[in-house]
Amino acid sequence: MMLSEQSIARMKEVVTKYPSRKSAVLPALTIAYRQIGHLDDDIYNEISEAIEIPAVEVAEAATFYTMFPKQPRGKYLIQVCHNISCALLGADGLITYLEQKLGIVKGETTPDNLFTLISVECLGSCATAPMMQINNDYYENLTRESVDRILKELTEQAQAEDEA
């Protein structure tokens, strides 16, 4: 059992807010993802039981969206845009720099589980290219210096949270 009692209780509560149980699938997936950090077949089954929807329908919804990964990700998910505006302003070099700095390649997570690096399609911030999204925040007009500062700040933030 991966889902906590609180997560299951929240899912059961969410179901009551919708006219159809199917409508609760995305909120339930979000609750599970926030608790566990990734989703897999076992978790789909647990969600299915909690909201009384066939597991196949939970899996269909989950696999349609990239924000519900099946593999565990690091504390910080770095998504570097590689589309045209960002590419023209150095996205490839930026990705290579991040790979070297983190010691991983795209799609991987650092051994300390702090950073996962992926490249993604346009994030709608083309005027401030090159850019990346880390968890819910945008970082724009990136340079190697700003990347160094951002990674340092996030690493320090994670350490402070661990010590708290």
125 binds ligand FES (CB under 6 A): yes
- Told to check if 120 binds ligand FES by CB under 6 A, we report no
Interface size with ligand FES, residues (CB under 6 A): 12
**Considering the rule CB under 6 A, would residue 131 count as an interface residue with ligand FES?**
yes
Checking phi first, is residue 120 left (phi over 0); if not, alpha (psi -120 to 50) or beta?
A: beta
Among 66-74, 81-89, 102-110, 156-164, which window interacts with ligand FES (CB under 6 A)?
81-89
62 binds ligand FES (CB under 6 A): no
Q: Contact with ligand FES (CB under 6 A): which of 36, 55, 114, 123?
A: 123
134 binds ligand FES (CB under 6 A): no
- The nearer residue to ligand FES, 85 or 110, going by C-beta atoms, is 85
| Site for ligand FES contains 129 (CB under 6 A) | yes
Q: Write down the residue that tokens 């299951």 correspond to.
A: 8
**Non-local CB neighbours of 149 within 8 Å, separated by 6+ positions:** none
- Spatial separation of the C-alpha atoms in residues 135 and 128, rounded to whole Å: 18
What is the rounded CA–CA span in Å between residue 121 and residue 83? 6
Where does residue 85 rank: exposed (0-12), middle (13-18), buried (19+ CB within 10 A)?
Answer: middle
Which residues contribute to the site for ligand FES (CB under 6 A)? 81, 83-86, 122-126, 129, 131
